Structure 1
Amino acid sequence: MGEESNQASLLSADSPFARLPDHLFIEIFIRVPIVEWGQLSCVNKYWANLFREDCLWHAALIRCFPLAGQGKRWPGPIPRGMSKRRFAALCMSKCIFPLDDELSEIVGHTCLFLKEQLEISTMPPPSGILHGTIIDQFIACGTSRDRAHELASLIWLAVIDNLEDTHQTFHLLKRLAFEGDVFLPYPYSRSYKVEWKIFERLFTDFRDCLRNADYYDLVACAKQKFQPIPATWLDC
């Protein structure tokens, strides 16, 4: 009861803390661990509104990623978005495979883009279009063709590996596995490792979801793409 009473007193309209200006609240919030921001935004409507404002996310962006404050031209087909989007992109890049150069934010945005496009509830765009968009983004930002191909492969692997084990993910991976091979010139060709990861998840994480007909079709498709295929993918 004592703790609840202290919290109520702290948030009351008569409390000096409650009368702090917005910029001081923001300076306090961005110093709190990120994992607690969700709880802070649920305390009251005023704090929730602050977490919707771009000024808070801009301050968080500058504090957590100082180099992100440098204004740079953003070419390419994948949108950069406002401060909250940029913050999420940089956090994603830092968690998946951190880079210490200016590619970090580009990687984060392409990860967000690919993940969101693959998780569209209706039919997502063909993977060839998504892959080409990612390659074009890196090339537009001055990355070499070889580096663009390498980074696009890493992004596909990270996103596919982190998709939740849901019914929607199962149908998505099955569609990606059965997509017809369309010849595309380098660097627009999707890497061998990405193709392997799709089949690996289907045969390991979703084996129980496969009907007999689907299973044998996938095995036949895998044998065309990979030689040899792992024994763990087969019913032995």
Structure 2
Amino acid sequence: MTEDVDSVALVNHIFGKLPDHLLIEIFIRVPISDWVQLSCVNKHWANIFGGECLWQSALIRAWPLAGRGKRWPGPIPRGLSRRRYAAFYVSQHIFASDGEIDEIIGHTYLFLKEQLELSSAPPASGVLHGTIIDQFIACGKSRNKAHELASQIWLAVIDNMEENEHTFFLLKQLVQEPDVFLPYPYSRSYKVQWRVFEKLFTDYRDCFDKGDYYDILMCAKHKFQHLPSSWLGY
């Protein structure tokens, strides 16, 4: 305990008189994995990490071209620098291929993940899918590309959701939604629908009671012609 107090006192002594712009230049060169710990050192540092200047500097340092603002149409908000940093980070570390980073992909991923995980009563999947499609089309993607990217985002979000009771009930809600005919590209892909059932019958198999299990199994039989043997049998 004494060592921790001494360390904090030393930090305050060394960095306490530095102006904010120098602190920001130091912080953005520290690995992002340490930022949460740094923001807890004192209230002043917490305010810096909560402010716009640090995230704007970090965004431009990590992705220099991000400073070239483009028109941002569509229903999904772009947000300030902290949100944009998160979107670029997601785009690079989850979706980047051949070195290409597309900010809008990160924003749609964050949007869908938050709608599904943080909302107690998320909108219907068709509404969420339509919002994503409209965003891509508004940003200049073709209908085919919008459908392809939306499917990739759905799959990534499903695969990265926390394994907890909320996710179990959410996945059940998704597979039990009534079928509504929507024209292409507003219809969710076969692959996305399959992945939701696959998660339920593998990762959450032990969470079912018999009634729920057979209800979900009947939904799967209605949607798919052939089911894996691993899905069958309670």
TM-score range, shorter chain: over 0.9
Partners of 2:114 and 2:11 lie apart in 1 by: 39
Q: Distance in 2 between matches of 1:7 and 1:76?
A: 46
Cα distance in 2, alignment partners of residues 122 and 7 from structure 1:
40
Change (3 A) 1:205 1:50: same
Structure 1 CA distance for aligned equivalents of residues 111 and 46 of structure 2: 26
Cα RMSD, aligned residues only: 1.5
What are the within-5 Å matches in structure 2 for residues 14-25 of structure 1? Answer: 15=14, 17-25=15-23
Partner of 2:149: 151
Within 5 A, what are the aligned runs for 1:1-236? 5=6, 7-12=8-13, 15=14, 17-99=15-97, 100-101=99-100, 104-235=102-233
- Taking the aligned partners of 1:152 and 1:89, their CA distance within structure 2 comes to 15
For residues 44-64 of structure 1, what are the alpha-carbon distances to aligned partners after superposition, in whole Å with 9 as ceiling and x for unaligned? 111000001101000000001
Task: Kindly state the Cα deviation for residue 218 of structure 1 after the two structures are TM-superposed.
Answer: 1.1
User: Residues of 1 paired with 2:151 and 2:165: CA distance?
Assistant: 24
Identity of aligned residues (%): 65
What's the offset of the Cα at 1:90?
1.0
How much does 1:187 deviate?
Answer: 0.5
Q: TM-score, normalised by structure 1?
A: 0.94
Q: Which of 217-226 and 124-133 deviates more?
A: 217-226
Moved more, 72-81 or 90-99: 90-99
SS at structure 2 position matched to 1:63: helix
Amino acid at match of 1:173: L
Structure 2 portions without partners, runs of 5+: none
Structure 1 residue 3, shift from structure 2 partner? 8.1
- Residues 134-165 of structure 1 deviation map (CA, whole Å, 9 limit, x = unaligned): 00000000000000000000000000111111
- Unpaired segments of 5 or more residues in structure 1? none
Change (3 A) 1:101 1:141: farther
Identify the range of structure 1 (135-144 vs 217-226) with the bigger mean alpha-carbon deviation: 217-226
Provide, for residues 206-227 of structure 1, a one-character-per-residue CA deviation record: whole Å limited to 9, x for no partner: 1111111111111111112112
Q: CA deviation at 1:107?
A: 0.4
Return the TM-score normalized by structure 2.
0.95
Task: Give the Cα–Cα distance (whole angstroms) in 1 for the partners of residues 11 and 103 of structure 2.
Answer: 38
Asked if structure 1 preserves the Cα contact closer than 8 Å seen for 2:8 and 2:41, the reply is no
Shift of 1:121: 3.8
CA positional deviation for 1:18: 1.5
Q: 1:40 corresponds to which letter in structure 2?
A: L
User: 2:16 is paired with a residue of what secondary structure?
Assistant: helix
Deviation at residue 101 of structure 1 after TM alignment: 4.1
SS in 2 for 1:72: coil
